Amino acid sequence: MDHSSLTGRQIAAARALVGLTQAEVATTANISVPTLKRMEASEGPAVGLANNVAAVMRALEDAGIEFLNHGQPGVRLRKVV
What residue spans define the domains of the chain? Answer: 3-77
pLDDT tens string 2-14: 677 899 999 999 9
pTM more than 0.95:
no
Task: Give the C-alpha separation, 64 to 80, whole Å.
Answer: 9
- Comparing CA positions, the residue from 63, 68, 59, 19 lying closest to residue 39 is 59
Homologous superfamily (CATH) of 3-77 is lambda repressor-like DNA-binding domains (1.10.260.40)
The packing angle between helices 22-29 and 50-62, to 10°, is 110
- Comparing CA positions, the residue from 14, 9, 44 lying closest to residue 29 is 14
pLDDT tens string 10-53: 999 999 999 999 999 999 999 999 999 999 999 889 999 999 99
- Comparing CA positions, the residue from 64, 62, 46 lying closest to residue 2 is 46
Task: Give the C-alpha separation, 71 to 48, whole Å.
Answer: 23
